Amino acid sequence: MQTMIGIIGGSGVYQIEGLEGASWTRVKTPWGKPSDEVLIGRLDGVPMAFLPRHGRGHVHSPTTVPYRANIDALKRLGCTDVVAVSAVGSLREDFAPGDFVLVDQFIDRTFAREKSFFGTGCVAHVGFAHPTCPRLGKAAAEAARAAGARVHEGATYLAMEGPQFSTLAESRLYRQWGADVIGMTGMPEAKLAREAELCYASIAMVTDYDCWHPDHDAVDVAAVIATLTANAALARATVARLPGLLGRDRADCPHGCDRALTHALMTAPDKRDPELLARLDAVAGRVL
């Protein structure tokens, strides 16, 4: 199998430079329109697809991002590995604004989003104890360090609904739970990537200390934007190093991300809804 890297750009990351033969392509999915067209090209000979999560111009809120359409579009285009970039607040003193954090766990506190490709007519349960791909996360961490970022590997991401930032009581509670960073877009993106049998890594770019920190008080949007701008340049430099680390040829994922559906389908074949099966052609085609 050939590697194809999918990049989901978060706040402040709306483009990727240096793609050879790059063109914006409209992808139709049975889950609606993705956030935007997808920029497709090659970097160091490796196919790459870039999708701005909020759309160019930041038109989607965290709640209205079409997560299912986005993941379906990347899978439909042939992506094998997805690296998601997002802005987060820090819940730890040692995770400072400007730092990059490789997330490996999530606490999902979102409540207004569709979280699965499956449902009535075709029920599936995928394993999600380890939500990100260790192999891909290690490559992303190495790329970020080579780009000059200060990197922390291993962290728990608290996904909140938003769009408002946390109250002080919530921020303190999440710290007690053991969460390390807080953001609004990590879920259900990671869950859907697992259902689509995609290797998924999450690079969280710290912009602020949420509101728990006694020396920083409430989130300052102007300061967040300034940090986002600096982080975006590092994120693009990180992405540029991924093809060289992942290579053109791809073996099966040693952690089984690309086989997540092997034993996940619960509905008997003769009871499956043909209409839903048709919508699952890209994300679950291997097992259907």
Segment 15-28 mean pLDDT: 91
Per residue in 150-196, pLDDT tens? 999 999 999 999 999 999 999 999 999 999 999 999 999 999 999 99
* Catalytic residue from among 99, 208, 258, 273: 208
Contact 38, 79 (CB under 8 A): no
Write out the binding residues for substrate.
184, 208-210
Instruction: Report the DSSP beta bridge partners of residue 5.
Output: 48, 81
- Give the C-alpha separation, 233 to 250, whole Å: 28
Geometric angle at alpha carbon 151, from 150 and 155, rounded to 5°: 140
Q: Are 149 and 234 in contact (CB under 8 A)?
A: yes
Q: 10 pLDDT exceeds 90?
A: no
Q: What mean pLDDT is predicted for residues 219-241?
A: 82
Options 3.40.50.1580, 3.90.1150.10, 2.60.40.180, 3.40.1190.20; CATH of 5-279: 3.40.50.1580
Q: Identify the three-state secondary structure at position 236.
A: helix
208 catalytically annotated = yes
- In this prediction the pTM is 0.95
Active-site annotation holds for 249: no
Residue 220 has pLDDT above 70, yes or no: no
Give the active site residue among 72, 104, 180, 210: 210
Q: Which amino acid is at 81?
A: D
Output the known binding site for phosphate: 11, 53-54, 86-87, 185
Average pLDDT taken over every residue of the chain: 94
Among candidates 77, 71, 115, 127, which has minimal Cα distance to 262? 127
Query: Are 200 and 86 spatial neighbours (Cβ–Cβ below 8 Å)?
Result: no
Q: What is the mean pLDDT of residues 146-150?
A: 96
Q: Where are the domains of the chain?
A: 5-279
